[in-house]
Amino acid sequence: MERKYFGTDGVRGVAGEPPLTPEFVLKLGQAAGAFFKSTVKRPVILLGKDTRQSCDMLEAALAAGLMSQGVQVEHLGVLPTPGVAYLTKALEATAGVMISASHNPYQDNGIKFFSAAGDKLPDQAESEIEGLLEREFKTDGIGTVSDFREAERMYLDFLSSKGSSLEGLKVALDTANGATYRLAHRLFQRLGAEVFVMFNTPDGRNINKGCGSTHPEFLRQQVVEMGFDLGVAFDGDGDRAILVDRQGREFHGDHVLYLNALVRREPGVVGTLMSNMGLEVKLREAGINFYRTAVGDRYVYEKLKASALTLGGEQSGHVLFLDHAPTGDGMLTAILTLKAMRESGRDLSEWYEALPMYPQILKNVRVSDKQKVMQQPELHQAIQEAEQKLSGQGRVNVRPSGTEPLVRVMVEGPAELIEPVSSELVALVERLGSAS
């Protein structure tokens, strides 16, 4: 059935506005509590959050709803999304919940559920919870709430066990004023790196603001000016990592996949429709199969599982290492990539130059109704004409954002061809978006 509230990454929206009002989130907690109570007699659910100011309000409402159905709630406090996923499995909890809107502005928020295995709750389970929202709930048992104070220690111990010595490396970290602000520098210091950390003073409203994996400009500047060996930028909920080489160049998800695929001798790698053609070509030259999915880590995960592979991800820095964790983890991505880099004996800047990228233009166009824009025959016709203009030398991908009111227009190929093609498509989407 078509779902009304759950999208590709849980329930998302502007905090305080439908659907993310306290009243709805209370009801969501009741529905989720009833669902999990149908699977186990006494559900235990872990609850984590990032640093945005609306998290406390949503956390209180969700916990109240869960407890009204007899659920035992364990607060993890501020913790990266992958930390919640890891602890859900490690502590054998019934489920985990993360309150976050990832890389979005502070006004947005979201609620994401994890299964007992630490991966995203299956679509069927989310649909069943949505169905339960139609019910009128009464108190069905009285749950409890407590603070699990070992969350940070357990998660850091897990990450540390996956890394290798970073002795001799000077590393700059950008924690996006988000969920990694207390943990990232401790992890890198524990592994022996000399660390400088920035954007680690969250105030509830500055998460992702001009910083983090979506805005690494200041980090890139600091790495060059202060002579760091590299930099790492995380996003608000800590499931992404963008690295920066010593020359200030952005070492994004495609670079991370290439480096790790070669050093780990992977038989195959999973990317998305947005992955650069340069990655596909270089992996093929190395005898490594490359598979594309729709955009979204959920689809990358499904393809990896179906193909019995372990490495996949997106340009955004959301990378999956399924032999280590069931979900994307920015800090894990960073330390595994640096481990592979050191094993290779080559610097990050050498790996950057080893993967020549095809020119790519990506524009985000804000629209009032992204689905209506995508349904316009005029847009489909324009995309076909754009592909013809590229004459097989490039790619066009126009898609709605899964979490924001945006249509993303990507054109890839020779620079002299993609500039006019991109401009025409963006202008058309802007016109259709303003009329929708």
Residue 225 CA from chain centroid, whole number:
29
HSE (CB half, 13 Å, CA atoms) of 40?
A: 16
Average confidence score pLDDT of the chain: 95
Give the whole-number percent of the chain exceeding pLDDT 70. Answer: 99
> Could you give the residue range(s) of every CATH 3.40.120.10 domain in the chain?
6-149, 154-353
Q: What is the pLDDT of residue 415?
A: 82
Q: What is the pLDDT of residue 378?
A: 95
For the ranges 273-277, 331-335, 411-415, 429-433, the one whose mean pLDDT is highest: 331-335
Confidence category of residue 8, pLDDT binned at 50, 70, 90: confident
Interstrand relation of 6-7 and 10-14 (parallel, antiparallel or unpaired)? antiparallel
Q: What is the pLDDT of residue 281?
A: 86
In this predicted model, what pLDDT tens digit does every residue of 224-268 receive, in sequence order? 999 999 999 999 999 999 999 999 999 999 999 999 999 999 999
Candidates 22, 16, 2, 29; CA nearest to 132 is: 29
Is 235 assigned a ligand-binding role in the annotation? yes
Query: What are the φ and ψ backbone dihedral angles of 381, each rounded to 5 degrees?
Result: -65, -40
Q: What is the pLDDT of residue 2?
A: 66
In this predicted model, what pLDDT tens digit does every residue of 180-189 receive, in sequence order? 999 999 999 9
Q: What is the dihedral of CA 417, 420, 425, 431, to 10 degrees?
A: 180
Decide if pLDDT at 313 tops 80. yes
In the set 54, 68, 100, 102, the catalytic residue is 102
Query: What's the chain look like in SS3?
Result: CCCCCEEECEEEEECCCCCCCHHHHHHHHHHHHHHHHCCCCCCEEEEEECCCCCHHHHHHHHHHHHHCCCCEEEEEEECCHHHHHHHHHHCCCCEEEEECCCCCCCCEEEEEEECCCCCECCHHHHHHHHHHCCCCCCCCCCCEEEECCCHHHHHHHHHHHHCCCCCCCEEEEECCCCCCCCCHHHHHHHCCCEEEEECCCCCCCCCCCCCCCCCCHHHHHHHHHCCCCEEEEECCCCCCEEEECCCCCEECHHHHHHHHHHHHCCCEEEEECCCCHHHHHHHHHCCCEEEEECCCHHHHHHHHHHCCCCEEECCCCCEEECCCCCCCCHHHHHHHHHHHHHHHCCCHHHHHHCCCCCCEEEEEEECCCHHHHHCCHHHHHHHHHHHHHHCCCCEEEEEECCCCCEEEEEEECCHHHHHHHHHHHHHHHHHHHHHC
Is 422 one of the annotated active-site residues of the chain?
A: no
Decide if pLDDT at 423 tops 90. yes
Decide if pLDDT at 142 tops 90. yes
Is 56 assigned a ligand-binding role in the annotation? no
Decide if pLDDT at 436 tops 90. no
Q: What is the pLDDT of residue 434?
A: 87
> Could you give the residue range(s) of every CATH 3.30.310.50 domain in the chain?
360-435
Q: What is the pLDDT of residue 72?
A: 98
Confidence category of residue 118, pLDDT binned at 50, 70, 90: very high
Tokens of 337: 């990539």
Query: What's 216-265 look like in SS3?
Result: CHHHHHHHHHCCCCEEEEECCCCCCEEEECCCCCEECHHHHHHHHHHHHC
- C-beta atoms surrounding 11 within 10 Å: 23
Q: What is the pLDDT of residue 18?
A: 96
Is residue 395 a contact partner of residue 277, using CB atoms and an 8 Å limit? yes
Decide if pLDDT at 403 tops 80. no
Mean of pLDDT values over 89-110: 98
Q: What is the pLDDT of residue 1?
A: 53
Which CATH code of 3.30.460.80, 3.30.300.340, 1.10.10.10, 3.30.310.50 fits the domain covering 360-435?
Answer: 3.30.310.50
Decide if pLDDT at 372 tops 80. yes
Is 165 assigned a ligand-binding role in the annotation? no
Higher pLDDT, 395 or 267: 267
Decide if pLDDT at 392 tops 80. no
Mean of pLDDT values over 181-207: 98
Give the whole-number percent of the chain exceeding pLDDT 90. Answer: 91
Confidence category of residue 12, pLDDT binned at 50, 70, 90: very high
Fold topology of 154-353: Alpha-D-Glucose-1,6-Bisphosphate; Chain A, domain 3 (3.40.120)
Is 119 assigned a ligand-binding role in the annotation? no
Give dist(CA 364, CA 360) in Å, integer. 13
Mean of pLDDT values over 128-151: 96
Is residue 429 a contact partner of residue 407, using CB atoms and an 8 Å limit? yes
Q: Which CATH class is domain 6-149?
A: alpha beta
Decide if pLDDT at 399 tops 60. yes
Q: Which residues pair with 172 in a beta bridge?
A: 196, 231
